[in-house]
Structures are given as structure tokens and as C-alpha cells.
Structure 1
Amino acid sequence: MMKLKRAGFQRLFVALLRLSLLLTTMHQAVAEAAERGAIASQSMQFIDIVINGQPIDSKAKPLLIDGKLMVPLKPLAEAVGATYHWDVKKKQVTLQKWAEPLVLKERSRKNQQQLTFEVVSKEVYIPLRDVSLDLGYTLEKTNAQIQIQPPIHGKLKEQIYEGDLVAAREALIRINRSSVHPYIEAHRPNTELLSSVYMFPQGEALRYFTVNGDVLSLVEVKDGFPIVTYQGYVGAPFDKTFTMEYDPLGRFLENKAKNQWGTYPKINKPLIYEFTTGWGDSSTTYYGRITTLNKEELLGTTGDPVTGLPANTKQIMKTFKLPWESRTDAPAGDGIS
């Protein structure tokens, strides 16, 4: 065994002690960094955040904190058109684009499911994916870029904005709707009957009316989202015991809807409607139009029972489009004001 001289042993002992202290200090630093949401050293500089086709405008770079990609609050909120507020006393951040505000809290071990934010160098960071999805946006990642898009984008946007009436109408009514105003509560009759009502202005696909229980809503495409811009009660009576014996469209057209919010839409063209009621295979669908004189023209029915089918009804039922109807709207649109 090799023997060390006393001076050499002392030097080796001091070196080992310094190494131990260095490792301990490094371990403590890593632990402290992890406790406050450690940020990866590369700080995600290779990631490009693009919102609605525009790169996010921020000097602060995205950060990877506890496995989540975090971005600065202000530039993200401004890019998606949301208002924001950081309440230091309540330790929460609020974003609002639609009726329901999005609230983020400081990290808590008691509630791991809630949305959280982080403060790094006096900059508020929020989770990109969670916030974007909660606001209704979609995320698509390519090589070194993350695209944040509204639900109507890409091929779906082409279909809804530029496609034929059949494809555009069918695509639009299947997308979840948002609202900048709190929804009013819909009341439903004490029955197992299911029903749906869709009414499009003749020649248009970028907006429609729909009835849910005793609430009529106008849905319009804005900023890549289907937005509810008007609502009103069209049932009678206006409580939880109302029956199906009412004329919702008549009340709306006569501007007799209750608790209205939004601007009452004036109609200067016929409405093409699809009204389905019943139970599954035992349901009946009615197709027709409401004229500008508020007169109803039933053009055909399908389901159980099938009665009074004009020659062109099969085409109407298959396409939800009148044989003589052609598309007239564009992104700007007209016909309802």
C-alpha cells in the first residue's frame, strides 16, 4: 500500500473537503431551484410561439418549469385578445376573453389540478398549453415552432369560409360555441323528447340561430370562433315547468323574447330551418323556411312518420340546402344587422 507523507495527506484531505462542500452547495442550489420551479438552462430559446400567424412579441423567452412550457402573461394575453389582472394580495392572475374568466393561482401542494402561474425575475409566467386550451384555442407543434390557432383554421377555415353551403353549415354547427356574455339558463319541458333547431339566413353559412330549451341564440363566426352574440327567452311560461306548446320563432320574430342580451338582429332575408324532435330512430325532422313576411313554409319531413314529401324533399333533407339556394356570404357577410 502506498504511503502518504503528512503534508501530502493534509493537501488531499483539504481537497476532498472542498469537493464535498462544493457538491453540497450544488445540491442545495439544485434543490432550491426545483422548489421554486427550476428553469431549464436552455430556457427554450429554440421554441417559436406563433399565435394567429404572428410570433409572440416578447423580450422574455419561454421557460420550461416543472416540465411545463411557460410564457409571459402580458404578450400572450394581448396576442389572443384577452384582458388580464395580477392580484398580488390574492396571489392570483385572471385572464378574460369570454364570459367565464380564467383564474390562475400560485402553486399549492393542496391543489395540484388548478392552473398556476410563476413569477421569475418579476415577470409573470403562465402555462401555454393549459391556458390556450381553456380559452378554446388549438396547439400544433412543428420542429421548432408551436402554433396557437382558433378552432376555425386551416382546412376547416377554408371549408367554413369558402366551401359550399352544405359543407360549411354542417361543419359550423359541430364546433363548440363561446360567448362574451354569461349564458342565460335554458329551461326544458318535463319530457324525454329531444329536439334541435338550426336556422340559417338564406345563402349564408357564417351565422345561424339555434334554440336550446326555451333559449334562442344567434351564433356568428368572429375571430375564428363561433360566438354567441345574442340570446333571449322564447318559451312560455318562462320557468322550469314550461311545455312544448309555444312558438319560439314567432316570439323572436315579433321581438317578444324576454331577458334579451346583445343586439336584436333584424332579418331581411328568409331563414332556412331544420327542426328535429323525438327519440332516436323515432324522431322526425322538419325542413322549411321562414319568409321575410314571417310566414312559415314547410318543405318536407323525414323520420317517423314520413308524410307529404314533395319531389325535392330528399335533396333538402340530405343537404340542408334548398335546391335554388346558392351561397352569398363572405367573411364580412351581410343580411343580419
Structure 2
Amino acid sequence: MKLDRTGFQRLFVALLMLPLLLTTMHQGEAKAVEQGTTAPQSTQLTDIVIAGQPLNNKTKSLLIDGKLMVPLKPLAEAVGASYHWDAKKKQVTLQKWAEPLVLKERLRKNKQQLTFEVVGKDVYVPLRDVSLELGYTLEKTNTQIQIQPPIHGKLKEQIYEGDLVAAREALIHLERRSVHPYIEAHRPNTELLSSVYMFPQGEALRYFTVNGDVLSLVEVKDGFPIVTYQGYVGAPFDKTFTMEYDPLELFLANKAKDQWGTYPKLNKPLIYEYTTGWGDSSTTFYGRVTIDKKEELLGTTGDPVSGLRADAKQIMKTIKLPWESRTDAQQAMG
């Protein structure tokens, strides 16, 4: 049999080059490990759907250090955030809420920080980290990554269409967001615990709450509970704490200090739940504030420290009047 010397020479050269090639690859891997980076890998694992809309199908996602990264621009546009890439400072800023989200250049000493990657001409950001920081939820299936606002699915049905009790309870337990810096609340130097929630009669998609001496209006918008109004409704607490002030008085008279947002004039009563006390010795008051700004106490639960008699027929165990039914929650206050 005649030996194909040309083919044999090529095979021989390839075998000689193999150790050199492996050495080069190992050196590259070692350098990547030393720098704490790995080469980006293109991935088509799943489709990315944000608030029901697929992310631009031209968007190419990458796997970098085990994280799914997507280009900054289409992600920011999909979640309704503005963005800025500062090449000089080597940082990316996303702005959707009052507090900006800042991603900085990767540092080996801080593996928990939010980072970005520049691949070619595009800036890539971690899909999961950015979405969660902005308040979204992530659900992964075999074919999709669903990125949703906190109010979606069954919770959305409950809050938008459920009965008043379930809808109100679900809404007040969600984390609130704001596009305006929060007013700093002043708190008394005491162990007294208190909470105030007030819903317009028949509604469940917005409520007022008092935190210290700050009153806020929270409304459901685009799947988020968003603070749309704030103002000081009491003198700042200092050395002396007093229960004499009425947190609604200045608000109802539109005399709250340092207001931001649009003052919501009321055209319907407010249903309130007000809890105050120390630990187990607390009392919850239920009632309403009428359109003409009169307060009607309808019942109490807990320890009646105020001396009010707890009448079982008057007590409301939920933030709902016995005769109250749900109306068009998006009817305007005006």
C-alpha cells in the first residue's frame, strides 16, 4: 500500500502542535480566572417577556460568569426606565424610581455589587439583578423568562377584582415605590406602635397611610403600588410625644407642609383602621371620616385603653364597613 506522505505530514504536524495549543488554552483560562472573568457566551435559552411584551427579538443575550446579561437599552425601554452610560466614570445609571440604580465596573473584592459588561459597542447588564432591584418578579419556564410587576396574575385579579377585604389587605402588604424622594418621617422617642390605613369608600386601588408625621397617598399604577402624594400632617416630634394632634386635620384642610404630588380632594368618605398601643396592649379603631370632615367611630378591637366599650355588633374585623360594597375603584377624586 502506498503511503500518503502529505496526509501523514499534516497529521504529524497537528500532533506536534496539540501540546502547544492546549498550553495556550490553559494559560488563557488561568488568566481569565485570575482576572475573575470568563469569555461571554451567546445564549438562546429562552425568550424574555417583560410585562407581557417580548423583549426585542434582535436582542442578543449573553451568559457571563453564569449570569444572563442583556443589552442596556432594550431592557431599560421595556421597564420604562431612563438610562445613562458614563464611560469616564465607568458606571451605568438606571432611573425609574426616585432612588437611581447604579451599576459599577466589576471589582474582585465586591462580588455582590451590581456590575455591567461592555461587549463590542454594547453595554450589557444582568437581567435578574436589575429586574429585582426595580421591583419586578421573575418566573422561568421551559421556554420563557417572565418579568412582571409585583401586581400580576392571581394577585392582580385579587386586587383589581376581588372583594374589598381581600383586595385592601393584599395591597397594604406590598412594598411601595415612588418617583419622588420620600419625605423623612419624624418618630417619637417611645415604644408606642401605631399604623393608619384609610381607603376611599368602595375603593381598593388606593389608600392613605400615616407614617410618623407624614401622610402618603398610595395608588396602583402599571402593576406597582406607587406613592403619588406626601405631606407633613403634624408638628415634628421632639422631646415630648403627645397624642393630641390629629394626623388628618391639616391634610383635610389642605394645610399639610412640604407637600409634593397633586392634592387629592375627597368626594367620598374615608374608611379607616387605626392601631395604637404597646406590644400586646394595643387597640384598633375602625370608622370613617365623612365628606364634611366628621369622624365616626364604629368599633374597636383589642385593649380599649381609650375607655370605649367594645360592642360586638359594631366591631369591624377588617377594613370594611358592614354595608360597604366595591365600586369603580378608578373613579377620580375631584
Task: Give the TM-score normalised by structure 1.
Answer: 0.90
Q: Secondary structure at the match of 1:229?
A: strand
Specify the code of the residue in structure 2 equivalent to 1:23.
L
Q: Which moved more, 1:318-327 or 1:159-168?
A: 318-327
How far is the alpha carbon of 1:46 from its aligned partner? 2.7
The corresponding residue for 1:160 is 159
Q: Do structure 1's residue 191 and structure 2's residue 190 form an aligned pair? A: yes
The corresponding residue for 2:323 is 324
Alignment equivalent of 1:334, drawn from 319, 331, 334: 331
RMSD: 2.1
How far is the alpha carbon of 1:155 from its aligned partner? 0.4
How far is the alpha carbon of 1:312 from its aligned partner? 3.3
Q: Cα deviations across residues 61-92 of structure 1 (Å, max 9, x unaligned)?
A: 11110011111111111111010000000000
Identity of aligned residues (%): 80
CA distance in 2, matches of 1:101, 1:113: 18
Q: Secondary structure at the match of 2:273?
A: strand
Aligned ranges 1:287-326 → 2 under 5 Å: 287-305=286-304, 307-310=308-311, 312-314=313-315, 316=316, 318-326=317-325
Q: 1:211 to 1:30 in 2, by over 3 A?
A: same
Q: Secondary structure at the match of 2:321?
A: coil
How far is the alpha carbon of 1:58 from its aligned partner? 4.7
CA distance in 1, matches of 2:244, 2:170: 31
1:235, 1:246 within 8 Å by CA — same for their partners in 2? Answer: yes
Aligned ranges 1:167-182 → 2 under 5 Å: 167-182=166-181
How far is the alpha carbon of 1:21 from its aligned partner? 2.0
Q: Do structure 1's residue 249 and structure 2's residue 243 form an aligned pair? A: no
**Gap regions ≥5 residues in structure 1:** 1-9
CA distance in 2, matches of 1:51, 1:319: 35
The corresponding residue for 1:137 is 136
Aligned ranges 1:73-222 → 2 under 5 Å: 73-222=72-221
Q: 1:300 to 1:239 in 2, by over 3 A?
A: closer
Q: Cα deviations across residues 111-145 of structure 1 (Å, max 9, x unaligned)?
A: 22210000112111100111111000000001121
CA distance in 1, matches of 2:285, 2:142: 49
2:116, 2:123 within 8 Å by CA — same for their partners in 1? Answer: yes
CA distance in 1, matches of 2:183, 2:217: 13
CA distance in 2, matches of 1:109, 1:121: 22
Specify the code of the residue in structure 1 equivalent to 2:262.
T
The corresponding residue for 2:40 is 39
How far is the alpha carbon of 1:38 from its aligned partner? 1.6
Specify the code of the residue in structure 1 equivalent to 2:39.
A
Aligned ranges 1:9-28 → 2 under 5 Å: 14-28=13-27
Specify the code of the residue in structure 1 equivalent to 2:85.
W
Task: Give the TM-score normalised by structure 2.
Answer: 0.91
Q: 1:30 to 1:257 in 2, by over 3 A?
A: same
The corresponding residue for 1:277 is 276
How far is the alpha carbon of 1:22 from its aligned partner? 2.0
Q: 1:127 to 1:15 in 2, by over 3 A?
A: closer
CA distance in 2, matches of 1:241, 1:103: 38
Question: How many matched pairs?
Answer: 322
CA distance in 2, matches of 1:213, 1:110: 39
2:164, 2:202 within 8 Å by CA — same for their partners in 1? Answer: yes
1:58, 1:75 within 8 Å by CA — same for their partners in 2? Answer: no
How far is the alpha carbon of 1:319 from its aligned partner? 2.4
Q: Secondary structure at the match of 1:246?
A: coil
2:188, 2:237 within 8 Å by CA — same for their partners in 1? Answer: no
1:39, 1:65 within 8 Å by CA — same for their partners in 2? Answer: yes
CA distance in 2, matches of 1:130, 1:115: 7
How far is the alpha carbon of 1:301 from its aligned partner? 1.1
Q: 1:28 to 1:304 in 2, by over 3 A?
A: same
